[in-house]
Amino acid sequence: MIEMTAKSRKVLHAQVEALSRKIDRFNKVELEKLILMFNNLMMEQNSQGRPANGLKRGKFRGLLQSTFEMTNGLMMDGVFRSFDKDGDGVIILEEWVRGLAVFLRGTLEEKMKHAFRVYDLNNDKYISKDEIFHMLKHSFIKWPSEEDPEEGIKDVLEMTMKKMDLDHDGLLSYEDFEKSILDENLFLQAFGPCLPDNTVIDKFDQLVFKDPEQ
């Protein structure tokens, strides 16, 4: 790692102090490590092309693949959209830390809001049958013996809507989604993996947060 100057150390300290007042899931040592990780990703990204003021989709997707073991492109794009709260096409430092707070230590409510944002592909505040079909098609493994896997997906879609579309309007509102998950937590990632599992979270904690001298 590049040795920090007094000026860069002062900037880092100010960033930690500012973020610690807004985000309570990480202590100051952890915040510092997340900021340094973000800075390293930015340096790698900007050395390879046109500089940007935040993490771009391609760099972020690479992180999701290598660090969080995500492979579904549609889900990775949705996670990017969930992190990028202002929708400007890049993830700035505060969005990075807020997103990881949900990813790593979020409450069930925060995870539900994240998942809904990922699954709402056109950002219209509803999850439609077409969106669900599209996501399931990307998530399903096609077996060689299957003649028409889309029929199986349609069957799963209809069963899922029957259980989750509580007001029977053909769309999943956030209220439908929330009530379904509170009744059955398995619905949280019903349409594709959009959150890391506990094993991946533990690996991240060990890699990023653990004191190397311990």
Whether 97 and 201 map to the same domain: the answer is: yes
CATH of the domain at 158: 1.10.238.10
pTM across the whole model: 0.90
Whether 185 and 203 map to the same domain: the answer is: no
C-alpha 74: how far from chain center:
12
Tens of pLDDT, residue by residue over 67-103, are: 999 999 999 999 999 999 999 999 999 999 999 999 9
Tens of pLDDT, residue by residue over 145-174, are: 556 668 888 888 999 999 999 999 999 999
Residue with more model confidence, 26 or 212: 26
Amino acid 139: pLDDT: 77
Amino acid 214: pLDDT: 46
Residue with more model confidence, 13 or 214: 13
Domain of residue 154: give its range.
113-189
Query: Is 50 a residue whose pLDDT tops 50?
Result: yes
Whether 163 and 202 map to the same domain: the answer is: no
**pLDDT tier at 2 (50, 70, 90 boundaries)?**
low
Whether 102 and 12 map to the same domain: the answer is: yes
Domain count of the fold of the chain: 2
